[in-house]
Amino acid sequence: SNHAWMRKTCDLVLQIVREKSGLLHADTLTKLALSLARLQMTCPASVVLRLMLDKGCVPSMHLLSLVVFHIAKTEIGTYLASNYLFQVCDFYNCLNDKKGNHAVKVELDTLVFNLVLDACVRFKLSLKGVSLIELMSMTGIVADAHSIV
């Protein structure tokens, strides 16, 4: 089945990254994360996203939105997507601290947050939703009409 093959693919990628971290490119990892997310393999998809973040890479907002859209279809996936957003914001904050006056603007957009906020409403995760809205304000991401439910 597709799930078994994707599990083997993910395991192989993780092994390659452990042995030769520079061998796989970010776009390959992004495609893997999207494929895993589309199959509702949320934990492996978030592992790949975190692996990319450890390498200093964040997928483009278009692709990240697609991955988050698929991950946040389940309650566990919503927790994982929310935690990933916190980690990405922390990653950009660390970059800002290192660069001093040459701060890096957080590249996340409102759509990614809205996808996770919508899932928080669906799964009745009100505290997680509130913390995401607070994170948006702390990072300067402007909420829109869809952000406040």
Per-residue pLDDT reduced to its tens digit, 34-92: 999 999 999 999 999 999 999 889 999 999 999 999 999 999 999 999 999 999 999 98
**CA separation, residue 1 to residues 7, 14, 29, 73 (Å):** 10, 20, 21, 21
Per-residue pLDDT reduced to its tens digit, 98-147: 765 555 555 788 999 999 999 999 999 999 999 999 999 998 888 888 88
- Which residues have a Cβ under 8 Å from the Cβ of 107 and sit 6 or more positions away? 58, 61, 92
Single pTM value for the model: 0.91
Return the C-alpha torsion angle 123, 50, 135, 41, nearest 10: -10
